Amino acid sequence: MANARIIDPLWPLHFFEHISAELRHQIAFHPKSHRRAHHHRVSHHHGTVKHRGNIHHHSHAHQHPETLVHAPSPHNLYKQMALQPDAVAVPIAMSGADVEDASEKVYKSVMKNKDVLNSKDVEDTGHGNYGCAWAVNEVVKQALGHPVGGGKSTYNMYRALKDGAGTLVGPEKISHGMVIISPTIGQNHGHVGLLGDNQLVYSNSSKTGFFTQNYTVEKWRDHYVKKGLKVFFFKLNH
């Protein structure tokens, strides 16, 4: 059971590709019956077996060698497949509306809000000086219908991302629409932004209050690592 893997609910469409030979045998003809199907027509009725019009009597206790092996019910077959260590999960087909993931939606919102969204007049941002978390939440909310979380705090946003709003990824797997964040620690102020193409970073500008392209990943890491802060990348979940 420990080695069992999750099976796609659409398994009936694919199970012949993945089930073991033993299970295939259970739902196929007995080997002899398969080879000689054109010579025999087999049926059980009150203990009688017919062979091309010839009648032979057999007791119910004796199973004729040409009898078909009964296939397990779909429910039992599913259970057996799920318990196979070598069972393979099959990807579920997605509709066109589902193919576009959260990162793509967020990236479109980044481009839409670039040099437009402004935090200068937003309460509790110090006239835009501390508007980075607010700006990211606003861009994401427009894309996904909900913010990342954490309000106007980079530390609280980082906690929200770790608690399920996002999935931590390594720097080698980053792509546009993902979050880059260096959480504030005490009085050591951090920052948060969103990734674009070519490792460009879009975030709130403390000087102008605009959400704009103001870093690259390399410059971000150089700046905040020197400040003693860590750099994290998150792919947003739906």
Domain with residue 161: its CATH number is 3.90.1720.10
pLDDT at site 166: 96
31's tokens: 């080997």
Q: What angle do CA 216, 222, 228 make, to 5 degrees?
A: 130
**From CA 167, how far away is CA 171, in angstroms rounded?**
13
Q: Identify which has the larger pLDDT, 205 or 77.
A: 205
Decide: 110 and 194 in contact? Cβ < 8 Å: yes
* pTM of structure: 0.60
Range of the domain at 44: 11-82
**From CA 97, how far away is CA 33, in angstroms rounded?**
48
Q: Residue 92 falls within a domain, yes or no?
A: no
Same domain, 56 and 128: no
What pLDDT digit, counting tens, does each position of 146-164 carry?
Answer: 999 999 999 999 999 999 9
Same domain, 22 and 69: yes
Same domain, 106 and 56: no
Residue 238's pLDDT band (boundaries 50, 70, 90)? confident
Decide: 213 and 202 in contact? Cβ < 8 Å: yes
pLDDT at site 100: 66
Is the pLDDT at 9 greater than 80, yes or no? no
Which of 40, 39, 60 has its CA nearest to residue 48? 60
Q: Based on the structure, what is the number of domains in the chain? A: 2
Domain end (from 49, 82, 115): 82
Same domain, 108 and 16: no
What pLDDT digit, counting tens, does each position of 39-92 carry?
Answer: 444 344 444 444 444 444 444 444 433 333 344 444 444 344 344 333 333 333
Q: Residue 3 falls within a domain, yes or no?
A: no
Residue 213's pLDDT band (boundaries 50, 70, 90)? very high
What pLDDT digit, counting tens, does each position of 154-201 carry?
Answer: 999 999 999 999 999 999 999 999 999 999 999 999 999 999 999 999
Q: What angle do CA 149, 129, 123 make, to 5 degrees?
A: 60
Same domain, 107 and 188: yes
Q: Residue 229 falls within a domain, yes or no?
A: yes
What pLDDT digit, counting tens, does each position of 86-144 carry?
Answer: 333 333 333 434 446 899 999 999 999 999 999 999 999 999 999 999 999 999 999 99
What average pLDDT score do residues 26-44 get?
42
Q: Residue 2 falls within a domain, yes or no?
A: no
Same domain, 112 and 70: no
225's tokens: 């690592």
pLDDT at site 114: 98
Same domain, 121 and 210: yes
- Average pLDDT, rounded, for the chain: 74
Q: Residue 4 falls within a domain, yes or no?
A: no
Q: Residue 173 falls within a domain, yes or no?
A: yes
DSSP state letters, 60-104? TTSPPTTSPPPPPPHHHHHHHHHT-TT----PPP--HHHHS-HHH
Q: Residue 134 falls within a domain, yes or no?
A: yes
Please name the residues in contact with 208: beta carbons below 8 A apart, sequence gap of 6 or more: 118, 120, 128
Q: Residue 1 falls within a domain, yes or no?
A: no
